[in-house]
Amino acid sequence: MVDRLSFYLKRSNWFYSLNPITKLTFIFCLLVTIYSSRNIYPPIYFSILVIILSFLAQIGKEFLKSVMKIALPTAGILFLMQSFMMQLGNSSIFEFFIFKLTIENISYAGISAARIFLMLISFLLFILSTHPSELMTDLTRRGLPGQLAYVVVSTLQILPQMQAKAAAIISAQRSRGLDTEGSLAKRVGALAPLVGPLVFGSLVEVEERAIAIEARAFMSTLKKTSLKEVADTRLDKTLRIALIAITVGAFLWR
Amino acid sequence: MNFKKNFNTMTWVLIPVAIAINVVVGQIVLTLKLPVFLDSIGTVLVGVLAGPWAGALTGLLTSIISGLAINPDSFNWWPVGLFIGFIAGLTAQFGLFRKSWTVVVSGFIIAITSALLSAPIQILAYGGISPWGISFIVSYFMKLNFTTEQSVVLANFISEPIDKIATALLAYSIIQGLSTRFLGRFSQNDLVDKDRRGKLTNIISAGIIIFLLLVLAFKLLSIIPE
């Protein structure tokens, strides 16, 4: 299970002071560019760019650690699976049962893996440098209903609590002799004693919480003020327009 | 199909819990190494209790939040969760969540929806072979000279029904275990059977075991080369 829920790291520099929407626009432009052509070079160049950005944002070390833990394994598994399991080309280097390795497969897998790698690391950079509540505050200011922001922020709080609860239930049931590693039938049988207490235990709190937030004008449609202000400077607006212009320009030019 | 009616305070509070249920039960299933996902129980639960729109929102937010908090790969699959929740809510409106055997029908409808949506994603975002277990089935069909598209669709239509019928049955048995007072606060409470709760849980868990055994049978069959 995950050891830390929010990836956010606290820093204060120019990258952090960018508006969340500007960072999302940047990611969106990168992804549109790499998915518009099947070429290995754009994802590689952009990945280097994202890594440089992470160092400029002073989170390079932690960023690379998350890349090693999340992006590299996913992209690596994808590369291996596609190299052996696609059915492109005829000259197989190696063949066994459903597995077949060809040059065409490898080059196809390379492009796919590079794309997924870029997608994962650019989102990692975003979630490392943006606090979820910062994103939600900014989106609420732009017209997102407050209830939606509540759902996202409160899920991020409930999730680690439930994970801790699940871990506690698993060890409690194991200590009672529940078999969680035996035959398939035994493991299926273990599902109910693990899921039951977890689900019913967490649903019990729902009603109390509903009463509590109802008493704080949760469903009110009046405009609310925010304690924290998320800056959206002229630089942000210019950057966003420039990014979209460059992407559209590159698309037309090609 | 009233949009506003789906979202009362109880629904807004249930959604975060449902998303957490999706994620955590998915992780428990991984720990138990079961050959299914079961990562949309919460979505189906909200869809059935609060309505299709609330279910759709739960499914969408599940992929966004697990993308934010666990693995950004989840972002790719957002349409799947969205439609699972929506269709679960719709089937409940047609009364399919009143009896356990109609829940199986509902699970099957949800599975078809889910298969139809995840197949294009698997083809467009990964070219057919994604870094998930289902790709072994895809690869098997490709070896049998099916095209990539056909293989992905076939693999999804094989793996989804088992997973989604088990999901729907689990959501149903959770609803059976909740109090009438609790259920009464949701907009679709008249669509779930409130009289015979508790007794069916055993039959349902037996049903789930049978389905999982079917999965195992399929896996064994697919390992034997022809």
Domain ranges (residues) in chain B: 3-223
Mean pLDDT value across residues B185-212:
67
pLDDT at A90 exceeding the cut of 80? no
| Residue B91 CB partners (closer than 8 Å, separation 6+) | B97, B105, B106, B109, B110
Secondary structure of residue A38 in the 3-state scheme: coil
The CATH class of B3-223 is: mainly alpha
Query: Please, is B195 exposed, middle or buried when counting C-beta atoms within 10 Å of its C-beta (0-12, 13-18, 19+)?
Result: exposed
Mean pLDDT value across residues A66-72:
89
In angstroms, the separation between the Cα of residue B110 and the nearest Cα of chain A is 22
pLDDT of residue B91: 94
**Beta carbons of A7 and B69 less than 8 Å apart:** yes
Amino acid type, A49: L
In this complex, the residue of B128, B131, B178 whose CB is nearest that of residue A86 is: B128
Mean pLDDT value across residues B125-144:
80
Amino acid type, B75: F
How far out from the chain centre does Cα B154 lie? 18
**Residue B225: closest C-alpha in chain A:** A97
Q: Which of the 8 DSSP states describes residue A224?
A: P
Higher pLDDT, B70 or A111: A111
Amino acid type, B80: V
pLDDT at B22 exceeding the cut of 90? yes
Residues in chain B: 226
The pair of structure tokens assigned to A141 is 């200011």
pLDDT at A2 exceeding the cut of 50? no
**Beta carbons of A194 and B225 less than 8 Å apart:** no
Of the candidates B65, B170, B50, the one whose C-alpha atom is nearest the C-alpha of residue B110 is B170
Interface test with B, best of A2, A63, A85, A105 (most B CBs within 10 A): A85
pLDDT of residue A6: 66
Mean pLDDT value across residues B20-42:
88
Q: Which of the 8 DSSP states describes residue A94?
A: E
Interface test with B, best of A50, A115, A159, A170 (most B CBs within 10 A): A159
Task: Look up the ipTM and state it.
Answer: 0.82
Average pLDDT, chain A: 86
In angstroms, the separation between the Cα of residue B49 and the nearest Cα of chain A is 13
pLDDT of residue A4: 46
Secondary element (H or E) of residue A99: strand A99-102
In this complex, the residue of B7, B17, B57 whose CB is nearest that of residue A158 is: B17
Q: Decide if A5 contacts B19 (C-beta within 8 A).
A: no
- Distance separating alpha carbons of residues A53 and A239, to the nearest angstrom: 15
CB atoms within 10 A of CB A65: 11
Collect all residues of chain A within an 8 Å Cβ-Cβ radius of residue B12. 147, 150-151, 210, 213, 218
In angstroms, the separation between the Cα of residue B194 and the nearest Cα of chain A is 17
Higher pLDDT, B208 or B23: B23
Higher pLDDT, A181 or A198: A198
Whole-Å CA distances, A48 to A37, A57, A125, B116: 18, 14, 12, 36
The pair of structure tokens assigned to B56 is 């759709």
Instruction: Flag the least confident range among A75-79, B33-37, B80-84.
Output: B33-37
Q: Decide if A126 contacts A24 (C-beta within 8 A).
A: yes
Collect all residues of chain A within an 8 Å Cβ-Cβ radius of residue B174. 199-200, 203
Scan for tokens 């009464």, then name that residue: B184
Instruction: Flag the least confident range among A82-91, B17-26, B28-37.
Output: A82-91
Per-residue pLDDT tens digits for B61-111: 999 888 877 777 888 899 999 999 999 999 999 988 887 778 888 999 999
Collect all residues of chain A within an 8 Å Cβ-Cβ radius of residue B72. 70-71, 119-120, 123-124, 127
pLDDT at B146 exceeding the cut of 80? yes
Per-residue pLDDT tens digits for A163-189: 999 999 999 999 999 888 887 778 888
In this complex, the residue of A98, A162, A185 whose CB is nearest that of residue B209 is: A185
pLDDT at B222 exceeding the cut of 70? no
Helix, strand, coil percentages (3-state) for chain B, rounded to 5, are 75, 0, 25
pLDDT at B221 exceeding the cut of 60? no
Of the candidates B12, B80, B23, the one whose C-alpha atom is nearest the C-alpha of residue B51 is B12
CB atoms within 10 A of CB B66: 23
**Beta carbons of A195 and B170 less than 8 Å apart:** yes
Secondary structure of residue A95 in the 3-state scheme: strand
Q: Decide if A156 contacts B65 (C-beta within 8 A).
A: yes
CB atoms within 10 A of CB A84: 20
**Beta carbons of A78 and B24 less than 8 Å apart:** no
**Beta carbons of A195 and B9 less than 8 Å apart:** no
